[in-house]
Amino acid sequence: METKLRCHLIEGTPTESDLSPSDAHFDVIKTFEEDSHLSRRILKCKRCGQLYFYEFYEEIDWKEGNDSQYCTYIPIETVEEAEELNKKSQFALLGVVPRLQDDFLQDGTKTIEWMR
């Protein structure tokens, strides 16, 4: 998938506040799934208009309650691209580049980085 990256999030290192999938930064174009442990949407950056396939995935830690959380932002150009991505498992999405990963691991480690 050869997607033109035109978003301001490409420049430098995005921060946690840049990536909040809230109304402040993104418009929700379409919701594929909405669950407490899995959400999938098409987001549109309010600042530049870049579309993203967005996934929030949470692994439940039944022993200690330290759930790992993974947010994936894949820049797309069309809704049809997002519909194809929505057919993939959360693990298959890890092979898609470019993508922005915003992860909070069980041990408290927080990372935000582009995978290219």
Residues forming a β-bridge with 65: none
State residue 4's pLDDT score: 57
State residue 99's pLDDT score: 92
- Say which range, 29-33, 91-95, 109-113, has the weakest mean pLDDT: 109-113
pLDDT digits (tens, 9 = 90+) for 45-63: 988 899 999 999 988 766 7
Q: Which helix (H) or strand (E) is 38 found in, with range?
A: strand 38-45
Q: What is the pTM of this model?
A: 0.84
Query: How far is the CA of 107 from the CAs of 16, 58, 66, 69, 101, in angstroms?
Result: 18, 14, 8, 11, 17
Whether 63 and 56 have beta carbons less than 8 Å apart is answered as no
Amino acid at residue number 7: C
